[in-house]
């Protein structure tokens, strides 16, 4: 088990939060450090869902409530119209059907609630260069080719997934992007064509579309 997954603070995702949440749900909360940090910053009531038993036990010591299991298995225990912020920090790509999850979470949202997500970018330059070099798809314990990833996304497919699930994407922000001079120069020379190869992940902020 790669325990690093369960202990990240995710400051880069926290920076996406511009509106103070009252009640949040962190899906795949790990040991609860991210949700705890938001609670400490805003006084937010923080819930978590975590499928790893050990991590869930740790999270339960600092969060208001932690449900142990997959989202699909425990979502019936969530209160309806309750959360004004839901986080999926590098979680959706581990799900067989993230589209269904994004639809299924909507009954638990308050009007105007925000969905935040961090999703790996398959087009990340270092990943593409490795594939070209090795001519192989080598699964790893973490990272873009994590052996537990079920889905792979690009910026375009991330945005399309949220739109297909009834969300208005308010922001799609590069996270942990390459910032070297040679890549910036290449992006300039290609008139922005290589821009999508620089972020390791994208941060998404979305809301359920209002009825027409």
Please provide the CATH number assigned to the domain covering 79-208: 3.40.50.150
Q: If you search the block for the tokens 């581990």, which residue do you land on?
A: 94
- Predicted pLDDT of residue 2: 47
- Predicted pLDDT of residue 6: 52
CB 72 within 8 A of CB 98: no
Q: Where are the beta strands (DSSP E) in 28-82?
A: 45-50, 65-68
- Predicted pLDDT of residue 140: 83
State how far Cα 124 lies from the chain centre: 16
- Radius of gyration over alpha carbons of the chain, in Å? 17
Instruction: Give domain limits for the chain.
Output: 79-208
Which tokens hold the place of 30?
A: 């790990």
Reduce the DSSP state of residue 21 to 3 states and report it: coil
Q: 32-69 as b/e, with b when 16 or more CB fall inside 10 Å? A: bbbbbbbbeebebbbbbbbbbeebbebbbebbeebbbe
- Predicted pLDDT of residue 165: 97
CB 20 within 8 A of CB 45: no
Reduce the DSSP state of residue 129 to 3 states and report it: helix
- Summarize pLDDT for 147-189 with one digit per residue, the tens: 889 899 999 999 999 999 999 999 999 999 988 888 888 888 8
pLDDT one digit per residue (tens) for the chain, 212 residues: 444 555 567 899 999 999 899 999 999 999 999 999 999 999 999 999 999 999 999 999 999 999 999 999 999 999 999 999 999 999 999 999 999 999 999 999 999 999 999 999 999 999 999 999 999 988 888 888 888 898 999 999 999 999 999 999 999 999 999 888 888 888 888 888 889 999 999 999 999 997 75
- Predicted pLDDT of residue 9: 77
Paired with 168 in beta bridges are: 207
């Amino acid at each position: 088990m790669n325990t690093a997954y369960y202990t990240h603070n995710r400051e880069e995702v926290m920076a996406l939060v511009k509106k103070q949440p009252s009640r949040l749900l962190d899906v795949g909360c790990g040991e609860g450090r991210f949700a705890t940090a938001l609670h400490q910053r805003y006084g937010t009531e923080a819930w978590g869902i975590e499928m790893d038993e050990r991590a869930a036990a740790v999270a339960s010591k600092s969060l208001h409530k932690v449900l142990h299991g997959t989202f699909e298995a425990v979502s019936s225990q969530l209160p309806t119209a309750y959360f004004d912020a839901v986080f999926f920090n590098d979680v959706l790509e581990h799900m067989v059907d993230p589209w269904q999850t994004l639809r299924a979470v909507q009954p638990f949202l308050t009007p105007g609630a925000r969905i935040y997500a961090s999703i790996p970018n398959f087009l990340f330059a270092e990943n593409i260069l490795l594939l070209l070099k090795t001519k192989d798809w080598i699964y790893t314990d973490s990272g873009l080719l994590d052996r537990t990833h079920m889905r792979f996304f690009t910026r375009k497919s991330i945005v399309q997934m949220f739109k297909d699930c009834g969300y208005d994407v308010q922001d799609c922000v590069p996270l942990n992007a390459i910032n070297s001079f040679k890549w910036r120069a290449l992006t300039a020379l290609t008139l922005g064509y290589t821009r999508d190869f620089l972020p390791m992940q994208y941060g998404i902020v979305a809301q359920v579309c209002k009825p027409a």
